[in-house]
Amino acid sequence: FCLDSEEKIFHAYEKNHSTTKSVSEVMNKLNIRNLILYHTEETHKNLRKELYTKEAQEYFKGRIIVPDELEEIIFN
C-alpha cells in the first residue's frame, strides 16, 4: 500500500497494488468491520501508522489497524 497522494511516486496501480484510499473505499462499500493495512511503503517510518490511519478514516468507517512488522493482531 501507499498513500493516495504518493501513487504517482510508487506506481501502485501499475504493480497491481492499492492505495490506502482505494482499498478503504472498497472495504467500506462492502461493510467490512476491520481493515488491516500492512505491506506499506516505509517512507514515513515514524509517522506511518498516523498517516495511513488518517487517510483510511476519510473513506472507511470501521476499525483500522496499521500493524508494525511481526505485530500480533488479536480479534475478539
**pLDDT score, position 71:** 92
SS3 track for the chain = CECHHHHHHHCCCCCCCCEHHHHHHHHHHCCCCEEECCCCCCCCCCCHHHHHHHHHHCCCCCEEECCCCCCCCCCC
Residue 33 lies in a domain: yes
**pLDDT score, position 36:** 97
pLDDT by residue for the chain (76 residues), tens only, comes to 899 999 999 999 999 899 999 999 999 999 999 999 998 888 888 899 999 999 999 999 999 999 988 999 988 7
Residue 72 lies in a domain: no
Residue 29 lies in a domain: yes
Cell numbers at residue 62, please?
Answer: 470501521
Task: Compute the distance between CA of residue 60 and CA of residue 16 in angstroms, rounded to an integer.
Answer: 21
Cell numbers at residue 39, please?
Answer: 505491506
Number of domains in the chain: 1
**pLDDT score, position 54:** 98
Residue 75 lies in a domain: no
**pLDDT score, position 24:** 98
Q: Domain range for residue 29?
A: 4-65
